[in-house]
Structure 1
């Protein structure tokens, strides 16, 4: 995914933004989709996974396991 240093930097920053959105959504955001960058829980998680997988160096502050935890908390299956 990241082809240049600028692309990688942008993706690290976007992943951080998406994580903050998840934290807010699950906390003070009252589970309102309007607080998510993607506007939808499944799309938000899918974008986070896409970015994470494409990063040349994985960040220390988030893991695929943590993204899966957000997924479990945010997406309620019936």
Structure 2
């Protein structure tokens, strides 16, 4: 999906900027905070396009709107990526590959990358580079433990 494409989404009206209320009045007096709207989200401009009483209208995410959901399957991808990240963090404290969702570090991180790339809007809490750094740390820790295990077996 290209960045300029629109994504089917839902947003809730939520005024956070001082001029947000003025924008809502221009759309319609009966559009109140807390109203959930169906429409399209444009990630580049952070605009949410929707129809209100037959007229085209727009909210600015972060100023007078907040995204609720992002198209088909996006919520599951975010949750799965969060689960895989928490497995990595647990592994760094307790390095045993069976703690990971997938059978190996390489496969686990490969799946994380695929979920990350499949997201329409990338999470602020995890970058693509961070996945690589996590994989590197996990592999270093596994190598260190394997060496220690071999050393202990020789003695």
Shorter-normalised TM range: 0.7 to 0.9
Partners in 2 of 1:50 and 1:18 — Cα distance?
Answer: 12
Which structure's residues are more often helix, by fraction?
Answer: 1
Q: Which of the two has greater strand per residue?
A: 2
Superposition RMSD in Å: 1.8
Alignment of 1:1-78 (within 5 A): 5-27=71-93, 29=94, 31-76=95-140
How many residue pairs end up in the alignment? 73
Alignment TM-score, normalising by the size of structure 1: 0.84
Could you tell me how far 1:6 is from its partner in structure 2? 4.3
Gaps of 5+ in 2: 2-69, 144-155
Corresponding residue SS for 2:73: helix
Moved over 3 A (4+): none
Unaligned runs of 5+ in 1: none
Return the TM-score normalized by structure 2.
0.44
Higher-RCO chain (CA-CA 8 Å, sequence separation at least 6): 1
